Structure 1
Amino acid sequence: MAVSKLHDYLLEHENDLVAELSDWVRIPSVAGVPEQRIEVVRSARWLAGTLRAIGFPVVEVWSEDEAPAVYAEWCAEPSAPTVLIYSHHDVRVSKDEQWQETRPHEPVVRDGYLYGRGVSDAKGQVLTHLWSLRAHLAATGRTAPAVNVKLLIEGEEETGSPHFRQLLKDHRNRLAADLVVFSDTMLWQAGHPAVCTSIRGTINAHLEVYGPQRDVHGGAVSGPAPNPVLALAALLGGLYDDKGRVTVPGFYDAVIEPSERRRQELAELPFTEEDWLARSETGGITHEAGYTVLEQLWTRPAIEAISVIAGDPEGVPRAVVPAVATAELSIRTVPDQTVPAVAEQLRRWVADALPPEFGHELSITEETGQDPYQTPEDHPAVQVLAEAMEAGFGKPAGRMGNAGGGPVRWLEKVAGAPVVFFGTGLPEDRWHDSDERAAIEVLRKGAATLAHFWNRLAETKF
């Protein structure tokens, strides 16, 4: 393949990539909002039409009534590997009043970034695949990709993929592959590419703590009345000890320590606390004793309280002792933790830690919980991807992990194949927050990486 021709093609069409992504971002395919459901359908239809225009001979929209997924296949090389690409086209809800660069679904370009909801997570990542195929075909003169390509782009990832598992079961005979490429992840730095080889698992839980039978005027009962806000605050305040470890009994029993090889790989990534704080906008670092920031992010489990509500969060306070206090918990797991085991640990912890005068209800969505995944260290596709990334970004690729979660284990099982990860997000892209953005240069280099990857993968034996 003419390397210069590939890069020249993507440079020449960079504005087209931005324009196409902007068109897609204007469709507000917000997950979990009933009145936006039709927009998710429109988003799926937009993607299906774009895939047909590229040349995919098979394009289908699956489960249109329930957050539609788009499936496409282009399998013209019987002797070549088959790759199943996964990502999603739904996006997180936005609060317009918090966006300063633009409205969430009115994309704009400023200083090398495209701003808008979904430009990075994950419509931009999907389009890097589409443009990689365009570049691959243009540079090689081929009429079909050198590898067999299947795409599955779901429409409900941001709400935990509640119907996706059944969708995979219903269509499992279509999804067999030799390799899965999971594209809902991040790079380490724009100037220092790294191959992601692991992803943490995720479990969501909803906790309600009950005090009085109804909201009661504080002037009548303050003092002897059980206040669920204080009980919930004490529970969450004791979630971590002074060494930064989760205090849930048994939580670390199945946790596998990172290997020396893994720790060395992460240590080789460029890192300073100043750079991390500037890019993550977190304001500080809470350490787990004995582990670096990157080890904590990618090899250690965590529990976060992502929402706490009680009493009168809006409007004029009524001066009552509230009847209920609620918290949403997000649990990130690592090998060899499992969803059922961690769910049971959480149930025992809450039941034992709350005083007897408080009732509670803990809801854990075990059926949509995602287990962690580690790509086999010596799988040849990892090295092929590293070489393609070096060709795409112009610098050697390190190794990294992903701190989030996703339906990786489900895809591995249904495809019968190992999973590798490639994404074009960056920690500073503000996923799920206001002013989400994507670096246009990174999108272009990501497309170049994947175009190199298809050519190299076609010649790889696994």
Structure 2
Amino acid sequence: MAANVHDYLTRHCDDLVKELIGWIRHRSVAGLPESEPELIRSANWLAGALRATGFPHVDVWRIEGAPAVYAEWCEAPGAPTVLIYSHHDVRVTDDDQWEETHPFEAVVRDGYVYGRGASDAKGQVLAHVWGLRAHLATTGRDAPAVNIKILVEGEEEAGSGHLAEALEQHRERLDADLIVFSDTLTWRADHPAVCTSLRGMISAELRVFGPLRDVHSGAVSGPAINPAIELSALIAALHDDRGRITLPGFYDDVEELTETRRAELAALPYSDEDWLERSETRAIGGEHGYTVLERLWERPAVEVIGLLSGDPAGLPRAAVPAVATARFSFRTASGQKAATVEKQLRQWVESRLDDRVEYDLSISEEISQEPYRTPDDLPALAELAAAMEEGFGKRPGRMGNAGGGPAELLTRVIGAPVVFFGTGLPEDRWHDDDERVAIQMLINGAATLASFWQRLGSAGDGGRGQVAQ
């Protein structure tokens, strides 16, 4: 069966690539009002592709924020019902920084498709589409072996701020036994791994105020409070000399790694040189006492993702700036709660800044996301690992995902466990210039999914037992 699936997908590889290039043309950037028409066109494009695949029920939900695509194909009585989650929106681009191509004019080079959304996450969605097509074509079935529901939102890159409302609004249609979350990476093309955990996310912005307006430094330099200096000192105090975050109580709720988890991560092929090359980072830092992969997937982190003050471009005015702004991204680990970390952050900032310094700290509660871990004994997890072995031709390891996502929200609202499956790689340059996806990863991913549906549906009336017990 695996050979037939791969043969089918190889024959249709050019069709898959052509579809991905066509979808990438829609500049479906999250969070930009001027992109709303393209987000609608992107959703309609996907709706058309799902109808062409055979889905009898496809809708475009015009929810606040951005349109989502929902489809269902439930013609397998007694078999499990699976909800697939992903997104069709993409990150904003700096078009002039792209070297391979314009970000929305995708090209194929050396086995890769280059373009915004090629890997995150339009390519992943199309792996599902073609996985279903391969499943049907190679089994001769008129409908999937399991009941399939698909939800592809259009606001993930802006934090999924309206997803909870949409889930509640359409709750009666979303019942499922299992959720497949497809907005993740796997470890290496030649060594896939099943993702079993996802960190949480908290976004914060801190504005520190100085003079009432930008003031010539020659007139006030010395006695004036400089907000850039005050903010820089606070940022420098975020970590101690062992790379630990200094918010009091921050690690109290963090679950320690089990020996089993440490062994799983240690079993993945890893070297510093390989990691630095693939991640395009210059050096390795972080919390002492943990390996790179443990820091990346199992430990919390905080990053400064935006920093602005004074005259960052053009000729300097030699002025003390009126305001300095920093944007922070917290990645929380298993056991932590967003509300607790928010309280810790507010108390820490208040204690660190001088009473003479005014500031405003804003934390977006609407887009905070909690961490999630797939239960180790979930039957569907073993089925996914077996399907990946068929799809990639190699037994997969286990890994985590360093980013965030609404996995915990989905399982809380729908009441089903989550498994993760993605076709991205660390070197795919998500959110960066020259984003790309390896075509063979899409083929292997689609083959994995074709096998997964067959495996989940193979037990007939007992199929639900192969998902969650």
Q: TM-score, normalised by structure 2?
A: 0.97
Aligned partners of 2:341, 2:65: CA distance in 1, in Å? 29
Give the structure 2 partner of residue 312 of structure 1. Answer: 311
Report the residue type matching 1:168 in the other structure. L
**Is 1:176–1:414's contact at 8 Å kept on the other side of the alignment?**
no
**Is 1:211–1:357's contact at 8 Å kept on the other side of the alignment?**
no
1:339-376 deviation per Cα after TM superposition (whole angstroms, max 9, x unaligned): 11000000001000011211111000122200000000
Gaps of 5+ in 2: none
Give the structure 1 partner of residue 52 of structure 2. Answer: 53
The answer to whether 1:271 aligns with 2:270 is yes
Aligned partners of 2:101, 2:162: CA distance in 1, in Å? 33
- Taking only the aligned residue pairs, the percentage that are identical comes to 64
**Is 1:266–1:295's contact at 8 Å kept on the other side of the alignment?**
yes
Give the structure 2 partner of residue 406 of structure 1. Answer: 405
Aligned partners of 1:312, 1:191: CA distance in 2, in Å? 46
The answer to whether 1:89 aligns with 2:92 is no
Aligned partners of 1:358, 1:413: CA distance in 2, in Å? 41
State the Cα distance separating 1:64 from its structure 2 match: 5.2
C-alpha change, 1:167 and 1:323, in structure 2 (3 Å) is same
1:318-348 deviation per Cα after TM superposition (whole angstroms, max 9, x unaligned): 1111111000000000111101100000000
1:294-313 matched pairs, under 5 angstroms: 294-313=293-312
Aligned partners of 2:290, 2:59: CA distance in 1, in Å? 46
1:3-35 deviation per Cα after TM superposition (whole angstroms, max 9, x unaligned): 222111001001110000000001111111111
**Is 1:210–1:325's contact at 8 Å kept on the other side of the alignment?**
yes
1:240-259 matched pairs, under 5 angstroms: 240-259=239-258
Give the structure 2 partner of residue 381 of structure 1. Answer: 380
Q: Look up the SS of the partner of 2:360 in the other structure.
A: strand
State the Cα distance separating 1:436 from its structure 2 match: 0.2
C-alpha change, 1:439 and 1:369, in structure 2 (3 Å) is same
State the Cα distance separating 1:36 from its structure 2 match: 1.1
1:366-419 deviation per Cα after TM superposition (whole angstroms, max 9, x unaligned): 222000000001101111000000000000010000000001111102221000
1:271-420 matched pairs, under 5 angstroms: 271-420=270-419
**Is 1:100–1:435's contact at 8 Å kept on the other side of the alignment?**
yes
The answer to whether 1:23 aligns with 2:9 is no
Structure 1 segments of 4+ aligned residues over 4 angstroms from their partners: none
Aligned partners of 2:92, 2:213: CA distance in 1, in Å? 32
Aligned partners of 1:134, 1:8: CA distance in 2, in Å? 13
1:134-176 deviation per Cα after TM superposition (whole angstroms, max 9, x unaligned): 0000000000000000000000100011111101110111111
**Is 2:244–2:286's contact at 8 Å kept on the other side of the alignment?**
no
Give the structure 2 partner of residue 196 of structure 1. Answer: 195
Q: Look up the SS of the partner of 1:357 in the other structure.
A: coil
1:162-173 matched pairs, under 5 angstroms: 162-173=161-172
Give the structure 2 partner of residue 135 of structure 1. Answer: 134
State the Cα distance separating 1:258 from its structure 2 match: 1.0
Q: Look up the SS of the partner of 2:203 in the other structure.
A: strand
Aligned partners of 1:411, 1:322: CA distance in 2, in Å? 44
State the Cα distance separating 1:312 from its structure 2 match: 1.4
Aligned partners of 1:38, 1:310: CA distance in 2, in Å? 34
Give the structure 1 partner of residue 151 of structure 2. Answer: 152
Q: TM-score, normalised by structure 1?
A: 0.99
Aligned partners of 1:288, 1:374: CA distance in 2, in Å? 21
Give the structure 2 partner of residue 7 of structure 1. Answer: 6
Aligned partners of 2:250, 2:35: CA distance in 1, in Å? 38
Give the structure 2 partner of residue 105 of structure 1. Answer: 104
C-alpha change, 1:64 and 1:348, in structure 2 (3 Å) is closer
Aligned partners of 2:125, 2:357: CA distance in 1, in Å? 47
Report the residue type matching 1:365 in the other structure. S
Report the residue type matching 2:393 in the other structure. G
Gaps of 5+ in 1: none
Aligned partners of 1:163, 1:376: CA distance in 2, in Å? 27
Aligned partners of 2:20, 2:63: CA distance in 1, in Å? 22
State the Cα distance separating 1:287 from its structure 2 match: 3.4
State the Cα distance separating 1:443 from its structure 2 match: 0.6
**Is 2:2–2:391's contact at 8 Å kept on the other side of the alignment?**
no
State the Cα distance separating 1:214 from its structure 2 match: 1.5
Q: Look up the SS of the partner of 2:405 in the other structure.
A: coil
Give the structure 1 partner of residue 34 of structure 2. Answer: 35
Q: Look up the SS of the partner of 1:44 in the other structure.
A: helix
Report the residue type matching 2:338 in the other structure. V
**Is 1:41–1:64's contact at 8 Å kept on the other side of the alignment?**
no
C-alpha change, 1:64 and 1:338, in structure 2 (3 Å) is closer
Aligned partners of 1:125, 1:307: CA distance in 2, in Å? 28
Q: Look up the SS of the partner of 2:103 in the other structure.
A: coil
Size of the aligned set, in residue pairs, is 461
The answer to whether 1:453 aligns with 2:452 is yes
Q: Look up the SS of the partner of 2:47 in the other structure.
A: helix
Report the residue type matching 2:230 in the other structure. A
**Is 2:113–2:437's contact at 8 Å kept on the other side of the alignment?**
yes
